[in-house]
Amino acid sequence: MKSSAIKETAATAGLTPQQRDADKKLRKACADFETIFTSYLLKTMRKTVSPGLKVNQFTGKDTYDMMMDQKIAEDLAKRQNGIGLQKALYEQLVKKNNLLK
């Protein structure tokens, strides 16, 4: 599966190599943005949970939690539609900037 969950459409089939390259970079940027946003969302949600018992606290737990949030965010962005943010962002950027015409 591609790194970006947004599938290429028939509209991109007739593009020049430069336009295809720009489209690929835009898709990756949108997927990366969704990953960062989702990671931050998970981090913020984790702060709302009480720390719990001392048994659950260990050295490096914050680092582990950050790495876990990042991996979950990456996996979500790679799914077919992700959380939908990358698709919406991509469509808005293409429409606003006429990137594929």
Whole-structure pTM value: 0.73
Residue 42, Cα to own-chain centre: how many angstroms? 13
Output the CA angle 28-35-77, nearest 5 degrees: 75
Give a three-class secondary structure readout of 45-70: HHHCCCCCCHHHCCCCHHHHHHHHHH
Query: Which pLDDT score is estimated for 4?
Result: 44
Q: Indicate the length of the chain as a whole number.
A: 101
**CA–CA distance, 50 with 9 (Å, rounded to integer):** 45
Give pLDDT tens digits along the chain (101 positions): 444 444 555 556 677 888 888 888 989 999 999 999 999 999 999 888 877 766 667 788 889 889 999 999 999 988 877 889 999 999 999 888 776 55
